[in-house]
A and B are shown apart, each in its own frame.
Chain A
Amino acid sequence: MGHIIKVNQVQKKFQQTTALDQISFHVSEGEIFGMLGPSGAGKTTMIKLMTGELGKTAGDLEVLGKNPDAFHRSSYKAQIGVLSDNSALYDRLSVLDNLKLFCKLYEKPLSRIDEVLELVNMWGEQKKIVSKLSKGMRQRVLLAKSFIHQPKLLFLDEPTSALDPGNTAHIHRSLRKLNEEGTTIFLNTHDMQEAADLCDRVAFLHQGKIQELDRPSALRYKYSSHAFHITTFAEEELVIENTPDNAAEVAQLIADGAVKEMHTDNPTLGDIFLNITGKELV
């Protein structure tokens, strides 16, 4: 599978401040790649470099086989979709009029509007004026707008930050469907559960540097203590190392019927981030 994004030793400075430092990673075609980090870590800057909205200070960057500076060409812009915190809609117009504009700009049939509204759980709300929408509804229309043209590569910056759990779950299902249909997704989030649910691989970005990059399951295994956490019926909490030497002790507890609960250590992505950086993912 080819690489749709290649980032090699990329650096971005704003005057004296280094926002991104020596960043290297790739995203394969068909992948959902997550970039996790707290606010101000440099996640949005990374997306802006890849969409050509910002110029890099140093390093090599290739998106869809081209330098993002070439994105002023219609043929490239038609292949990418972007949802970021400064994406916007026309307030005085209806949801339908907003989506109609982008359907026409991307030369897609107007029937696509109903499809995307269904995907973001907004079907039946076409005639509502955007200024009257709640923050969550507005976010869902923006999301619909970002993939109305079935892009090859979709950049999402905190797509579910304003949504309730029900709508978040619906959006996650839709993003998975979109991904199955061939869209590669680059997802910025500070929601560790979202990253764990959706992403094939995640990168932890902290203070402008990638601290870890792997599959969520591999990271959980790497940062697990590999111990058994056992609670007995006598409410005793035991932590037993997962080694051959301890097998007999664990087996005995089971044989005695003393085990009320037993599980292995399974850190969340948030725990891992805290472990690496000493900071919470907020």
Chain B
Amino acid sequence: MNVNRISAIFEKDLKDFTKNSMLFFMPLLPIILAVFYSRMGDGEDLPLFVIYLIVGVTYSAVTAGFMMMMMAEEREKNTLRGLTLSPASFIEIIIGKSLVTTLLTFASLIIALLIMGIGPLLNAKAMIGLIILFFFFLFLGIGVGLFVKTVGMTTAYMMPLMFLFGFTPMVESLQFEEGSMVLKIFATFPISQMIKLGEDGSWSHIGIVSLWTLGAIAFTYICYIRTRKDS
């Protein structure tokens, strides 16, 4: 792995981000939501599912959304081909391209959590879970970005992904019958597992989130191989 190449891609993406008005608003979304929810609490601690709702929005909109758009733009404009034909390896390209997203995700998440109350997440298990969850959304974003052919198409994928994986805690408020199949399925989703981790502290939830992350990595790798060779 070559640090110079990674930092060259990071530097380029950072400059590109400052000139890309389309991406500017995204990191503000979780912060605005956090302000909104914190005013609903009447001074009491917010329930865990609301905190994880903000985590889900941050990870789906900023982490996955950013990566999706950045990768899709590289693919649409053929600049990804320049990177893959250069000595940079797939891992170096992915790390380099993820750094700006990582920076913005955590800046946005920390500000949002400070507004809402970071207390319930200040323990080792929650931190480990949050990091693994971050990688799930990161690879999901990269994979979809490589899968779609245009930036325009990312919107079609981003919305369902945001609702499925980001807004998972909202499913319970949709009045499904207790024990219904829909609720059982959504209970296995990463954000639901993180809420359960906060409730019972079992490592098994981190294991399930890790499986989701491995799935996202495999999806990204398949999409990369598909883009490396023209059909």
Contacts and interface: CB of A to CB of B under 8 A. Distances in A.
Query: A and B: real partners?
Result: yes
Interface of A: 48, 51, 53-55, 72, 74-75, 77-78, 80, 82, 86-93, 97, 100-102, 104-107, 145
B16 A90 contact: yes
Contacts of B7: 104
Given A54-B230, A90-B16, A92-B20, A105 B88 contact: yes
Contacts of A75: 87
Interface of B: 2, 4-5, 7-9, 11-12, 15-16, 19-20, 77-79, 81-83, 85-90, 228-230
Contacts of A104: 4-5, 7-8, 11
B82 to A, nearest CB: 6
A80 B87 CA distance: 10
Contacts of B2: 74, 107
Contacts of B16: 90, 92-93
Contacts of B87: 74-75, 77-78, 105-107
A54 B229 contact: yes
7 contacts: A80-B85, A88-B78, A88-B82, A89-B79, A93-B16, A101-B9, A102-B86
B224 to A, nearest CB: 11
Contacts of A145: 82
Given A88-B77, A100-B8, 10 more contacts: A51-B85, A72-B89, A72-B228, A77-B85, A88-B78, A90-B12, A90-B77, A92-B19, A107-B5, A145-B82
Contacts of B88: 74, 105
B15 A97 contact: yes
A148 to B, nearest CB: 10
Contacts of A106: 86-87
Nearest to B85: A82
| Among B79, B89, B228: residue with most chain A CB under 10 A | B79
Given A54-B229, A55-B229, A104-B4, A93 B82 contact: no
Nearest to B8: A104
A106 B8 CA distance: 10
A10 to B, nearest CB: 16
A86 B85 CA distance: 12
Contacts of A54: 229-230
Contacts of B77: 88, 90-91
The 7 A-B residue pairs with the shortest CB-CB distance, nearest first, are A104-B8, A74-B87, A88-B78, A92-B19, A105-B86, A78-B87, A101-B12
Contacts of B230: 48, 53-54
A69 to B, nearest CB: 10
Contact of B78 (A48, A86, A93, A97): A86
Contacts of A101: 8-9, 11-12
A99 to B, nearest CB: 11
